[in-house]
Each structure stands twice: as C-alpha cells, then as structure tokens.
C-alpha cells in the first residue's frame, strides 16, 4: 500500500548538512501497523512527515496505492486526503468548536454538506468517547481529550493511512492510556497505521512490525517479538537497554 | 483566593476629581485672557434655516394673495394673462395686491432647515475614512501575505512598497498624489486623497497582518494541510482567523489613526471636518469654540470605533 524507495531528506542548517532521512526503503501493506522508534534526532519524525509531504523529498519516492507523492503531476492536496496525520501537540484549531474542527476539511475539501459532515463528526466523536464535548472549544479539553479529537478529525476525511507523530509525548501520564486505547481500536479495525512513539508497550502489543531509526538510517525492521528479544543492530541493542 | 478584592470606586472617584480639577484650572486660565466666548454661534454651523428666493417669471401684476398660516400664496397675472402661482413665507412678503412686478423680481422667500458646514465636513470625513479604510484593509492583507510569500519578486515588491510608504510623511504623499499622480492620471481630488490615505494605511496594515500570521504557530497550517486543505484554504480558514484575533487591537488603532489622518487631505481642498472648521472660523471668529467642537466630532467617530473593537475582542476571546 505504502511504498517508500530510497527516500533521502537533507536539512541544511547554516552550511551544516544533515541527512535527516538517509536512503530509507520500506513498504507497508494494507491493514499493517508499523511502529517507528529511535533516539531523538534519529529522523523518525522527519520520515513520517515525508510520508504525507509535509517535508519535501530530496530524492527517492513515496507512493500510496500507486499515487506517487514525488511525481510533479501529483496533486499533493489530493494525496494528503488519503493520509490522516496526528501531531504531538494535537494542533487542533483553537478558534473553532470541536465539531467545527471535524467538519472544516469535510466541507472545504470533500465538499460535503454541513449536515452530512456534522453527522460524520458526531459519529466519530462518539467513537472516541467525547460526543458530549462537541460544542466546546479545544482549550476547555484535557490533553487526552484534545488528542482524541485530533484523531477523530483525521478520521473524518476517511483516510487510507493514519500517521501518528509521537501522539502521547505531550500528555500527562494518566491520559496516555485513553489515547492508546483509541489507537488500538483503530488497529483492530484494520486501519493501516504508521506510529512514531516511545510507548514500547504499544509497540509490543499492537505493532505488526517495528522500525528502528538512528542518524536517519533505517537500521532494523522486524516483528516486535523478535525486535524486543533479539535486536540485531548494536545501536538498537543500546537503545533498548536504555528505554526498557 | 483568600485575598479580598478591594473596592475600585474610590479610585475612580479620585480620577473624576483630578479631571474636574484640570478642567477647572483650564477654565480659570481661559478666563484670564481677553477672549469673548460665543458658544451660541456654533449651532448655525450644524443646521441653519436656508432661504430660497421666489422670483416672478414675467412682467405683470399681483392678482391675489391668499394666506395659509405662515405661508402666503401669491397669484401673478402677466400682461399675456398667464398666471403664475408662488408660495412664500408670509413675513418675507414684500408686495400687496395690484403691485406691478418685473421679470426676476424677488417676491419673498421660503425657508427650510439645511445641514451646516460642520455636518457636511463630518460626513465627508466619514466617507473618506470608510473608503480609505476598506481599501487599506484589502491592500494591507494582500501586501502582508506577499511579504510572507515564497516568491522573491512578490516579497521584494511588497517590501519596497512598505518601506517607501512608511519612510515618507503622509502629508508629502498626499501632495505627490494630488499634484503629480493626480495630474498625470487626471484624478479628482477626492480620488487622490482617498488613494493616498489607503496606500499609507495599507502599508501599516500589511505589517500588522504579517506579524499576525507569523504569530500563528506552524503546526496550525501543517494540520490544515495534512487534512487536504490547499495553501489558500489553510490561510483563510485556519491561520487568518487566529491572526485577526491577535492583531485586532493594533488594527483598531490603525483605523483610529486613519480617521484622524483624513484631516490632512484638507490641504488639497477637500472640505472635510478640519477644513469645514477652518472655514467656520473665518465667518464666526469663534476660533476656540470651533476647534473644541471639531475635536469633539472626531471623538464622536473614534470612541465608538474603539468600543466596537473592544467588544469584538471580547467576543473572539471566547475560545481562549
């Protein structure tokens, strides 16, 4: 479903060239859940952002169901409609109610009527367990609730793939569970997911494959059972010793 | 909170006392100079009884006078036996039945209330402010976005515009617009005046817009883009509404400035409030009264303007 070929992303910070993503190739099958882990600065977030074009690719290609992001004729907005993204800091639109946060893109991008988009929004809010907050502003919600709204907002566009960029890192510990529960439900329903996260428990329990990144390179790609018990790469071994 | 909130009213009372004291000392100082205050001369500059002269069309005689209260109907019969009916105010009637009239003779006047120069000046100031303000908002929005564009030419052009306009005095710009651009393009003085004000204010609005957009964190645009909105849609639905909320106080200040800056177009002979005031002084000699009055009329526009801005700010703050 997702096909990544020799992806390279270079950052040029005052003459200092950093290869944030260095020649990464992989593919994700439909319904697969990938967890991307690695130390900070390893390029895992940049890799994720390349998957929906928030970062421009320097070379290589990314495609979803044959739609090639790097092809000059590809409409990047049409491409992004297929890919939902959840951010570390939720990035809800603070000037809109929760309901409007979910309806905006449906109405503007998918051209749905207000009634249709609202019905969809309410169903999704029900699903993530915050239907009663539909008319609140995001600032009135806890972090965990905000992140669940953000997940619902992305789902409202009916994406083929969901990307999660450290979705629980900005949360108070007691709220991590409610967000992970929503993600687990999604995974069980067969959603194709790529998650950058530090939640090793989630990786172990839900992931089909774990990708380990360091210095922009994809060093290890294995099933969670194998990755956590017998990591092959020495840097992965060192990383696991620190976090487990 | 354990700390009890202290009553505010004694301080407001003190404010009142201070203001009254200042007004009193001003009053005292004014009484020391030899100036005759004539506030009673002011009302005629707001509204007055305009007189319209009623004239005979032809040579003839007054055939009849019929009084209807304060008005009198005059019937004229010309030598060719053509009748003309005229209505004049009774107290201005200068004829009796049988009098001869010549063509163009004034038989009397009718009077009606008319708006005085200060009212016309106020209206002119209002429409110039509104027209220039609306234009400035459009210019400022476009220029502000150009300043943030990824296209170097758009960025350069908008920067040149902003720097040129901010670096030269508005008065000089108005002269240039009227005497140079106005002559070249054959513009009316009103057009030149409004254009100069709009371009001047637009440059400041552009900087306000730019600052506002930059203050919205990058993640907002990214979230919008990740949902499939294009750049313009993300700007319109997500970034600009948040930016607008933040820059509202600065924008309100800019538009209040604009209202006051319209006084400068009096130099190209547009009779707005300030010029009306100057003209009123030449006929009334009540310099002090007129200027106080003109100042009060500017306040009459600007105080509601800041009130509206404050209200809008409070309404937008709901989502905080």
Instruction: Convert the pLDDT of each residue in B125-180 to its tens digit.
Output: 999 999 999 999 999 999 999 999 999 999 999 999 999 999 999 999 999 999 99
ipTM: 0.92
Chain B's closest residue to A85, CA to CA, is: B226
> What is the pLDDT confidence band of residue B69, given thresholds at 50, 70 and 90?
confident
Per-residue pLDDT, B318? 81
Mean of pLDDT values over B264-270? 94
Asked if B225's CB is within 8 angstroms of A87's CB, the reply is no
Give the nearest partner residue to B233 out of A95, A96, A108, using CB atoms.
A108
Calpha distance B159→A176 (Å, rounded): 47
Chain B's closest residue to A107, CA to CA, is: B229
Of A201, A85, A82, residue with least CA distance to B223: A85
The mean-pLDDT minimum among A41-55, B76-90, B228-242, B250-264 falls in B76-90
Q: How many CB pairs under 8 A join A and B?
A: 72
Mean of pLDDT values over B1-22? 87
- Does an H or E element contain A220, and which? strand A217-222
Entry pTM:
0.85
> CB contact, 8 Å: B55 with chain A?
no
- Long-range own/partner contacts, residues B61-65 (CB < 8 A, 24 or more apart): B61/B98, B61/B99, B61/B100, B61/B101, B62/B95, B62/B96, B62/B97, B62/B98, B62/B99, B62/B101, B63/B97, B64/B97, B65/B93, B65/B95, B65/B96, B65/B97
Cβ neighbors of A95 (< 8 A, separation 6 or more) are: A137, B241, B242, B245, B316, B319
The mean-pLDDT minimum among A218-232, B64-78, B175-189 falls in B64-78
Measured in angstroms, the CA of A200 and the nearest CA of chain B are apart by: 26
Measured in angstroms, the CA of A242 and the nearest CA of chain B are apart by: 30
Per-residue pLDDT, A184? 95
The phi and psi torsions of B210 (rounded to 5 degrees) equal -60, -50
Instruction: Convert the pLDDT of each residue in B193-236 to its tens digit.
Output: 999 999 999 999 999 999 999 999 999 999 999 999 999 999 99
Q: Exposed, middle or buried: residue B226 (CB in 10 Å: 0-12, 13-18, 19+)?
A: buried
Asked if B245's CB is within 8 angstroms of A95's CB, the reply is yes
Strands (E) located in A48-198: 59-64, 67-68, 83-86, 161-165, 192-196
Cβ neighbors of A160 (< 8 A, separation 6 or more) are: A1, A64, A65, A82, A83, A192
> CB contact, 8 Å: B245 with chain A?
yes
Do residues B86 and B237 make contact, with C-beta atoms less than 8 angstroms apart? Answer: no
Of B202, B212, B193, residue with least CA distance to B143: B202
Give the nearest partner residue to A109 out of B227, B241, B316, using CB atoms.
B227
Give the nearest partner residue to A89 out of B219, B228, B230, using CB atoms.
B219
Is the pLDDT assigned to residue B1 strictly greater than 80?
A: no
Do residues B173 and B201 make contact, with C-beta atoms less than 8 angstroms apart? Answer: no
Q: What is the pLDDT along chain A (244 residues), one digit of tens a residue?
A: 899 999 999 998 777 888 899 999 999 999 999 999 999 889 999 999 999 999 999 999 999 988 898 888 889 998 999 999 999 999 999 999 999 999 999 999 999 999 999 999 999 999 999 999 999 999 999 999 999 999 999 999 999 999 999 999 999 999 999 999 999 999 999 999 999 999 999 999 999 999 999 999 999 999 999 999 999 999 999 999 988 7
> What is the pLDDT confidence band of residue B246, given thresholds at 50, 70 and 90?
very high
> CB contact, 8 Å: B318 with chain A?
yes
Give the nearest partner residue to A95 out of B219, B228, B319, using CB atoms.
B319
Give the nearest partner residue to B227 out of A96, A105, A139, using CB atoms.
A105
SS3 track for A10-57: EEEECCEEEEEEEEEEEEECCCCEEEEECCCCCCHHHHHHHHCCCCCC
- Does an H or E element contain A151, and which? helix A143-155
Is the pLDDT assigned to residue B65 strictly greater than 70?
A: yes
Q: Which residues in chain A touch residue B232, judged by CB atoms under 8 angstroms apart?
A: none
Is the pLDDT assigned to residue B4 strictly greater than 80?
A: no
Per the structure block, which two tokens stand in for A107? 């109405």
Per-residue pLDDT, B3? 61
> CB contact, 8 Å: B238 with chain A?
yes
Cβ neighbors of B227 (< 8 A, separation 6 or more) are: A80, A81, A84, A104, A105, A109, A153, A154, A157
Give the nearest partner residue to A157 out of B225, B228, B320, using CB atoms.
B228
The phi and psi torsions of B201 (rounded to 5 degrees) equal -65, -35
Chain B's closest residue to A103, CA to CA, is: B227
Asked if A137's CB is within 8 angstroms of B226's CB, the reply is no
Measured in angstroms, the CA of A226 and the nearest CA of chain B are apart by: 33
> What is the pLDDT confidence band of residue B89, given thresholds at 50, 70 and 90?
confident
Asked if A92's CB is within 8 angstroms of B245's CB, the reply is no
Calpha distance A161→B18 (Å, rounded): 68
Mean of pLDDT values over B182-189? 91
Asked if A104's CB is within 8 angstroms of B223's CB, the reply is no
> CB contact, 8 Å: B8 with chain A?
no
Q: Which residues in chain B touch residue A108, judged by CB atoms under 8 angstroms apart?
A: 229, 233, 237
Asked if A96's CB is within 8 angstroms of B226's CB, the reply is no
Give the nearest partner residue to A95 out of B223, B230, B242, using CB atoms.
B242
**pLDDT over 90 percentage in chain B:** 69
Is the pLDDT assigned to residue B2 strictly greater than 60?
A: no
């Amino acid at each position: 479903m997702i096909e990544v070929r020799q992806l390279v992303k270079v950052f040029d910070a005052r003459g200092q060239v950093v290869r944030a993503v260095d020649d990464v190739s992989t593919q994700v099958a439909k319904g697969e859940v990938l967890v991307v882990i690695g130390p900070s600065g390893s390029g895992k977030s940049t890799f994720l952002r390349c998957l929906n074009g928030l970062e421009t690719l320097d070379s290589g290609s990314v495609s979803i169901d044959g739609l090639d992001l790097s092809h000059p004729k590809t409409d990047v907005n049409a491409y992004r409609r297929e890919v939902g993204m959840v951010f570390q800091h939720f990035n809800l639109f603070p000037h809109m109610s929760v309901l409007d946060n979910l309806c905006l893109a449906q109405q503007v991008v998918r051209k749905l009527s207000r009634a249709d988009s609202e019905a969809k929004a309410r169903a999704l809010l029900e699903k993530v367990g915050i239907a009663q907050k539909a008319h609140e502003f995001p600032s009135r919600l806890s972090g965990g609730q905000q992140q669940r709204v953000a997940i619902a907002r992305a789902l409202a566009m009916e994406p083929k793939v969901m990307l999660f960029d450290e979705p629980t890192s900005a949360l108070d510990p007691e709220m991590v569970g409610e967000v992970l529960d929503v993600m687990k439900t999604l995974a069980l329903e067969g959603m194709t997911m790529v998650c950058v996260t530090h939640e090793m428990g989630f990786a172990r329990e839900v992931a089909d494959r774990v990708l380990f990144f360091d210095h922009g390179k994809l060093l290890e790609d294995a099933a969670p059972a194998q990755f956590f018990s017998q990591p092959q790469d020495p840097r992965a071994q060192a990383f696991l010793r620190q976090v487990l | 909170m354990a700390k009890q909130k202290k009553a505010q009213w004694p301080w407001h009372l003190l404010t009142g006392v201070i203001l009254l004291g200042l007004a009193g000392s001003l009053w005292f100082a004014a009484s020391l100079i030899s100036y005759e205050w004539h506030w009673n001369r002011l009302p005629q500059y707001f509204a007055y009884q305009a007189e319209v002269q009623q004239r005979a069309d032809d040579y003839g005689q007054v055939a009849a006078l019929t009084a209807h209260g304060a008005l009198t109907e005059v019937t004229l019969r010309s030598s060719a036996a053509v009748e003309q009916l005229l209505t004049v105010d009774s107290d201005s009637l200068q004829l009796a039945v049988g009098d001869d009239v010549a063509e163009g003779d004034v038989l009397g006047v009718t009077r009606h209330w008319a708006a005085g120069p200060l009212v016309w000046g106020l209206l002119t100031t209002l429409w110039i402010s509104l027209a220039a303000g609306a234009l400035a908002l459009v210019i400022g929005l476009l220029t502000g976005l150009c300043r943030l564009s990824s296209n170097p030419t758009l960025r350069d052009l908008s920067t040149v515009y902003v720097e040129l306009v901010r670096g030269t005095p508005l008065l000089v710009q108005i002269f240039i617009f009227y005497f140079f651009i106005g002559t070249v393009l054959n513009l009316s003085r009103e057009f030149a005046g409004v254009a100069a004000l709009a371009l001047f204010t637009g440059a400041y609005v552009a900087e306000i817009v730019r600052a506002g957009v930059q203050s919205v964190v990058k993640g907002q645009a990214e979230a919008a883009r990740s949902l499939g909105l294009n750049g313009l849609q993300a700007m319109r639905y997500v970034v600009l509404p948040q930016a607008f909320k933040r820059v509202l106080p600065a924008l309100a200040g800019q538009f209040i400035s604009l209202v006051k800056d319209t006084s400068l177009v009096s130099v190209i002979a547009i009779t707005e409030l300030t010029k009306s005031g100057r003209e009123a002084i030449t006929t009334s000699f009540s310099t002090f009264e007129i200027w106080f009055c003109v100042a009060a009329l500017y306040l009459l526009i600007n105080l509601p303007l800041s009130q509206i801005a404050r209200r809008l700010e409070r309404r937008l703050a709901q989502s905080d």
